[in-house]
Amino acid sequence: MIIALDTYLVLLSVIIGYQFFEDSYQFYDSGALLLTAVSLLVSHHVCAMLFHQYKQMWSYTGIGELIALLKGITLSAVMAGIVQYAVFHTVLFRLLAVSWMLQLLLIGGTRVVSRVLKERMGKKRSSSSRALIIGAGSGGTLMVRQLLQQNDFDITPVAFIDDDQTKHKLEIMGVPVIGGKESIMPAVQKLRINNIIIAIPSLRTHELQILYKECVRTGVSIKIMPDFDEMLLGTRTASQIRDVKAEDLLGRKPVTLDTSEISNSVKGKTIVVTGAGGSIGSEICRQISDFQPKNVVLLGHGENSIHSTHSELIGRFGKHVTFHTEIADVQDRDKMFTVMKKYEPHVVYHAAAHKHVPLMEHNPEEAVKNNIIGTRNVAEAADMCGTETFVLISSDKAVNPANVMGATKRFAEMIIMNLGKVSRTKFVAVRFGNVLGSRGSVIPVFKKQIEKGGPVTVTHPAMTRYFMTIPEASKLVIQAGALAKGRQIFVLDMGEPVKIVDLAKNLIHLSGYTTEQIPIEFTGIRPGEKMYEELLNQNEVHAEQVFPKIHIGKAVDGDWPMLMEFMEDFKDLSEAELRKRLFAAIGSTKEMAAAGAH
């Protein structure tokens, strides 16, 4: 259809041009007109093919497409002139010039009109959702263009908000820029806005927090466009808006790690993930499956969570990866050795652990059995079967531990560091802070409290923690496995710690409330909690990064005979004696041991 239309328009331009100068060309017979028409027609189609004119979608015509059209029409006129000169020994310049201008108007016009009509039809479609776009820059422009062009979105952009005063009272694709942040509330009321879309991907976190608070006052739905890196990777388009999440309002942007090295350590190999039903373990399984390992073994104690994760993975990756399930407890030493002998894994990610600080303070023996004895069982079983790499998921609470959970994680690190001295297996640990969205995160707790009408409980106004997303934590763990050389502790550069009270306030605002409607109450620091967390002891720090955003700490072995003695005796110890011996075994100071006992 495009070729047929262009053929008609080229011939029409020649006929009209010939009519203009018929008297000038009367000494030429009708063959001149025919030759000019044929040469222009053939050269036009050749040039159109050369510049991919017939592979373009008219509804997306822009400056680039029009420039390509100009080049093609100009080149075809030159080629037709060469043919004329070869036959008549002269060039009909006026005929070619008029034909050139008419082709630009007629053929270019069909492309532009097609796009205009599509956009106008999109704007006139019935829509129940009227959107105010925050940001009239490249992000907002891209957002509006896609919303106007795609009819499957029930969102109509009504106006732009931008603090750049030079854009005020102007229009972008027919959508007016009506003012800055101060115009958000009046615009929502006057224009009957249903949605506010924040379309500034480069917005800094503190700027987003200020803007979000202003938008929350309107009481309408608030959305945000994807990051530019997501659009560049093709995982999202500009129009795939989403709700603002707590992660967006944190003090830092989540880190995206370069996983190019991971494929060599994973593809075609057998991977075992303990705690595979948990938030971190299941995400490790998802991300590792992207690199097409031969087998992935999901090992966990909870049958429902393992079944759910297994079903999801089969649906997403079942064509390329074989998944196995093992319902087992890491405390069962014989079972761990049986599983490792059965699969002989190349890499083991050990995510199974007890992580809740207050619960482990009240159940220290269970923390020891799962976090220490369980780690030893899995690590020694991996060593026995010749595993290439063993990655322990540790915690920032293992640094100067003030609680049982942190102390057992520190102990687990020492176990694998000692094994690394005598084993061919590369033993490494990965430390990170709190994980947003995990079962142990404060986010689900805060959400439930908000749903009940409050109050939201925070232990102390100065309490701070490091935070990261589940995908980010999982990428770090997988990256550590690829970088492992043995006896290393990897730590993510997690930016600045976040105040828990600020996180609570942000979540209240995200839910559409104010702190007057949902109050915050301070309950006091719980047993075993620290006011702030650390990621490395001072004597562990290596200043340089071994990978962008990844630091490495020095291995601390501890006193192996003392560690062994504790593991043999802990079942016969009283709770007070267990705490004392635990902190002593990891070389904690008396002050820390006392804090832990308290």
For 499-541, write each residue's pLDDT tens digit. Answer: 888 888 877 876 667 788 889 999 988 776 777 766 555 555 5
- Does residue 376 or residue 489 have the better pLDDT? 376
Confidence of residue 229 (pLDDT cuts 50, 70, 90): very low
Same domain, 38 and 151: no
Average pLDDT over residues 89-115: 83
Paired strand residues for 296: 271, 323
Identify whether 249 is part of a domain. Answer: no
Is 592 found in the same domain as 481?
A: yes
Query: What CA–CA distance (Å, rounded) separates 330 from 393?
Result: 14
Question: Which of 97-111, 118-132, 189-203, 483-497 comes out lowest in average pLDDT?
Answer: 118-132
Count of domains for the chain: 3
pLDDT tops 50 at residue 590:
no
Burial class, 254, CB count within 10 angstroms (exposed 0-12 / middle 13-18 / buried 19+): middle
> 598 falls in which pLDDT band (50, 70, 90)?
very low
In a domain? residue 529: yes
Kindly state whether residues 450 and 475 are assigned to the same domain. yes
pLDDT interval class at 494 (50, 70, 90): low
Active-site residue flag, 397: yes
In this structure, the answer to whether residues 435 and 530 fall within a common structural domain is yes
User: CA 405, 409, 415, 419 torsion: positive or negative?
Assistant: positive
The angle formed by the CA atoms of residues 238, 240 and 244, to the nearest 5 degrees, is 100
Out of 122, 140, 155, a domain closes at 122
User: Is pLDDT of 40 > 90?
Assistant: no
For residues 447 and 591, membership in a common domain is answered with: yes
Calpha distance 274→278 (Å, rounded): 9
Q: Are residues 424 and 570 in the same domain?
A: yes
Give me the pLDDT at residue 246, please: 67
Greater confidence, 301 or 511? 301
* Domain assignment present for 250: no
pLDDT tens-digit readout, 362-407: 999 999 999 999 999 999 999 999 999 999 999 888 888 889 999 9
Mean pLDDT of all residues in 232-254: 60
Q: What angle, rounded to 10 degrees, do the helices at 560-569 and 404-422 form? A: 120
Residue 310 forms part of a structural domain: yes
Instruction: Dump pLDDT digits (tens) for 447-472.
Output: 889 888 889 999 999 888 777 777 77
pLDDT interval class at 67 (50, 70, 90)? confident
Which DSSP letter does residue 249 get? G
CA atoms 509, 513, 515, 519: torsion sign:
negative
Same domain, 72 and 179: no
Return the minimum-mean-pLDDT range out of 83-92, 438-447, 542-551, 571-580. Answer: 542-551
Q: Of the given ranges (93-102, 240-249, 294-303), which has the lowest mean pLDDT?
A: 240-249
118, 269, 397, 426: the catalytic one is 397
Q: Report residue 392 CA to chain centroid gap.
A: 24
CA angle, residues 465, 469, 475, in degrees to nearest 5: 120
Residue 369 DSSP one-character state: I
The pLDDT value given to residue 345:
97
**For 130-164, b where at least 16 C-beta lie within 10 A, e where not — what string?**
bbbbbbbbebbbbbbbbbbbeeebebbbbbbbbee
What pLDDT, on the 0 to 100 scale, is given for residue 597? Answer: 38
pLDDT of residue 594: 41
Mean pLDDT, all residues of the chain? 82
What confidence tier does 184 reach under pLDDT thresholds 50, 70, 90? very high
End position of a domain, from candidates 64, 99, 122: 122
The arithmetic mean of pLDDT across residues 297-313, rounded, is 96
pLDDT in tens, 22-37: 665 554 556 777 888 8
Q: Do 120 and 173 form a contact (C-beta atoms < 8 A)?
A: no
Residues 22 and 165 reside in one and the same domain = no
Provide the pLDDT for residue 481: 86
**Which domain CATH number covers 491?**
3.40.50.720
- Predicted pLDDT of residue 219: 82
Confidence of residue 558 (pLDDT cuts 50, 70, 90): confident
Residue 153, in any domain of the structure: yes
In a domain, 574, yes or no: yes
Q: Dump pLDDT digits (tens) for 316-344.
A: 999 999 999 999 999 999 999 999 999 99
Q: Which residue has the tokens 């992660």?
A: 247
**Residue 281 pLDDT exceeds 80:** yes
Residues 592, 499, single domain; the answer is yes
Q: What is the pLDDT of residue 343?
A: 97
Range of the domain at 62: 2-122
Q: How confident is the model at residue 596 (pLDDT cuts 50, 70, 90)?
A: very low
Provide the pLDDT for residue 174: 82
pLDDT of residue 185: 92
Residue 277: the pLDDT is 94
Residue for token digits 């049958």?
303
Whether 157 and 217 map to the same domain: the answer is yes
Whether residues 503 and 428 fall in one domain: yes
* Residue 46 shares a structural domain with residue 150: no
| 66 Cα distance to chain centroid | 35
pTM of the model as a whole: 0.62
pLDDT of 573: 94
pLDDT of residue 503: 81
Amino acid at 580: K
Note whether residue 167 is domain-resident.
Answer: yes
The number of residues making up the chain comes to 598
> Is residue 286 over pLDDT 90?
yes
How does residue 133 score in pLDDT terms, banded at 50, 70 and 90? very high
Question: Dihedrals φ, ψ of 535, to 5°?
Answer: -105, -25
At residue 152, does pLDDT exceed 60? no
Domain assignment present for 174: yes
Task: Show which of 213, 244, 275 is a domain's final residue.
Answer: 244
- Torsion angle defined by CA atoms of residues 372, 412, 284 and 303, in that order, rounded to the nearest 10 degrees: 0
pLDDT at 122: 52
Report H helices in 165-225.
184-190, 205-216
